[in-house]
A and B are shown apart, each in its own frame.
Chain A
Amino acid sequence: MTAKLNKSITQVHWQPLTKLLEPEGDKQQVLKGFDEEFVDIVDYIIRITHRIWEQKNVGLCYRYYGDICPVFMLGGYSECVEQVVQNTLKTIAAFPDRSLIGENVIWKEETDGTYYSSHLITSIMTNTGNSDFGLATNKTGRVTTIADCVCFENKIIKEWLVRDNSFLISQLGIDLIDAAIHFSASIPNETFHNWYNSEYDRVINAKHRAEIPFSESNWTTNNFVNAWAQALFNQKQFSTLTQFYHVAAAHQWPGGRQSTGLAQISGTLIQWLAQCPDAKMTIDHIGVTSFDEDTIDIAIRWSVAGRFNPHIDRLTALKGSRFFVLGCTHMRVKNQKIIKEITVFDEISLYANMIRESGQSLPLLAKGS
């Protein structure tokens, strides 16, 4: 099915939290330069996340993040551990009871000695403080996050962070476009602009017409993922869904898009891509781990770029704006077909970036538009 996978590494799915926090057994990976207590890279990610976020030891960021640690988000960029500490503290203040429930960690040992981890997290949190989305609502919401991290010698040295903020705010009773307008008022730093511009230019020039053939006999994870992106997102060939998804696959996309089966998944992708009909997708990183005997988990970091074709009347003024998404997807694949997919990106930042770049002043729904 794919390259031989290491099945001795911690798997989160069925583990009680107590066992995750006090792992038993021998060290399974060398983890050069990491604290001796960590048995493998999954253990490292799970325990440091718990310590920093759930135990609220924000200062541990100094121990587990590099002094220089670029963190890429669609809503902004931070460069050093000081900003990580400050952002963590601000989020905990706005959502003081935030839990971070580790759902999965898909990892890869890179050739340069670093470890790449993709951490799927569910958070429950109550919005008791003012946040980037507006005033405190005092409502509790759930949100899915994927944090992709490059880890080296006990520290995270680079991170891509995506959060399903549109799903969160719909539980808080905040309108999506209002949140985007609110968020567009914050001005990202120059590094963000440079990254955003260069990424847009890179992705929009993706070679989208080349065929990426793949078959059952020469199936590899990389080939499968690249063909998935090319056939569905770049070439919009939705009848090829049968090559990628099981007929009863479960599909979760941002904002509460829940689909089961090919017809609904096709509808979700068509409706979403119609916002950006010339969308180009690049696959920026792939990781794969074993789940069970005949099932693997794949983590994908990807980007989409194109021009915006508004589907919401209030956004008509943004027609033709640069549409850019940083996204992450976790897939569970059985017998070469996706049986479960969770895709995460930040729709609020997507719209906020276009609003800010347009220079338009859009009216808030909350004030009556």
Chain B
Amino acid sequence: MMFNELTALYTEGDLAQLSSRILHSTAWKQHDFTAYGDMQINKLWLKSLEQFGFLQVTQQQEIQGENFSALHLTLSTALSGKKDKAKHVSVTFFFEHNNKHIKRLHCVVDTLALAKLLKQEPRVLLKALPTPDPLLLSQFDHQLHPKSFHATPNDVCELPHTISDTVNQWWNIWQEKQLASFKNIYSDNAIVQIAGFGSQQGFIQLRDFHLKIHNRMNRSYCQLENICIDKAGNSLAIKWHLDGDYISKGAIKRIRIPVISVLTLENKLIIEEQLQIDWLALYKQYELSYPFV
């Protein structure tokens, strides 16, 4: 399956298998740069192999949907008895497919973790990333007027009833900033991993992050893009983005932060979440100062 081929690319350098899944018209987006065609896609793969290839998979989550699937990998250095010293990088893929070929794929790399793994300053790694696609963000009315319509998870996919309420509450946390929902939908023991910030038990770190990121910007607005749900119905990946006015030294920039969230649920509670953001691609796209939050 495609999950194996994606994994084999990074762990074994197996370009041939994955290439057989790529069409002439496949778009592979990584570091907010979209590559088309063998030449551009292969170049991205080879650079990734140089940076985080041939490591071991220490965590893997597969979400097999009908037309869209997602894969989250944590790749780690030496495992044998030196767990504390091991360095990790997580990579999340969200892709459109027909079980034979991949049409569009968005790969989000935790580049802050990658900088640590490579023992590089973030500004050094940032220079090595491809130039992101030009993005012209139009100003818009971000307010939730009584009769305006903003996408909710049920608009984007058919959620199994067992998780529907939890997923909608999860989205309300971001879209409507309904922080009280945290305690309703997260298990006390939930493992929450935020790109660049590592992993913690419980939702407190995520709630702090939520507040910091929204307070770092004015007029922030969250937009759902797509959702894929595993056939078993207990895990899903959500592709979304956060727009806002980033304020730095008195100047305002309109920015967009692409996010993939991977959720695992049990008994209507979130027991695991990965919130994946390519921070260095974001800094490069908008010439932001480090750190963001």
Which A residues are within 8 Å of any B CB, using their own CB?
12-17, 20, 99, 101-103, 122, 124, 140, 142, 167, 170-171, 239, 242, 246-248, 250, 255-264, 266-268, 270-272
Rounded to whole angstroms, the CA-CA distance of A201 and B141 in the bound complex is 34
- The answer on a CB contact under 8 Å between B36 and A142 is yes
The stretch of B49-57, B84-92, B113-121, B146-154 in contact with A is B146-154
Distance of A249 from chain B, by nearest CB (Å): 9
Question: In the assembled complex, which residues on chain B have CB atoms less than 8 Å from the CB atom of A102?
Answer: 24-25
Q: Can you pick out 22 interface pairs between chain A and chain B where the beta carbons lie within 8 Å of each other?
A: A13-B25, A14-B23, A14-B103, A15-B23, A20-B24, A101-B37, A122-B25, A122-B36, A167-B134, A246-B155, A247-B155, A248-B156, A248-B224, A260-B224, A261-B150, A261-B224, A262-B148, A263-B148, A264-B138, A264-B243, A266-B140, A267-B141
Rounded to whole angstroms, the CA-CA distance of A102 and B25 in the bound complex is 7
B5 interface residue per 8 A CB criterion: no
Rounded to whole angstroms, the CA-CA distance of A93 and B9 in the bound complex is 36
Specify which of A13, A242, A250, A267 is in contact with B140 (CB 8 Å cutoff): A267
Chain A residue at smallest Cβ distance from B24: A17
- The answer on a CB contact under 8 Å between A267 and B24 is no
Question: In the assembled complex, which residues on chain A have CB atoms less than 8 Å from the CB atom of B39?
Answer: 124
Rounded to whole angstroms, the CA-CA distance of A268 and B136 in the bound complex is 9
Rounded to whole angstroms, the CA-CA distance of A198 and B121 in the bound complex is 59
Distance of B273 from chain A, by nearest CB (Å): 21
Rounded to whole angstroms, the CA-CA distance of A257 and B140 in the bound complex is 13
Rounded to whole angstroms, the CA-CA distance of A347 and B23 in the bound complex is 30
Question: In the assembled complex, which residues on chain B have CB atoms less than 8 Å from the CB atom of A171?
Answer: 131, 133-134
Chain B residue at smallest Cβ distance from A17: B24
B164 interface residue per 8 A CB criterion: no
B128 interface residue per 8 A CB criterion: no
- The answer on a CB contact under 8 Å between B140 and A247 is no
Specify which of B25, B149, B151 is in contact with A101 (CB 8 Å cutoff): B25
Rounded to whole angstroms, the CA-CA distance of A65 and B111 in the bound complex is 50
Chain A residue at smallest Cβ distance from B225: A260
- The answer on a CB contact under 8 Å between A258 and B37 is no
- The answer on a CB contact under 8 Å between A124 and B37 is yes
Which of chain B's residues 149-191 have a Cβ closer than 8 Å to chain A?
149-152, 155-156
Rounded to whole angstroms, the CA-CA distance of A99 and B36 in the bound complex is 10
- The answer on a CB contact under 8 Å between B151 and A261 is yes
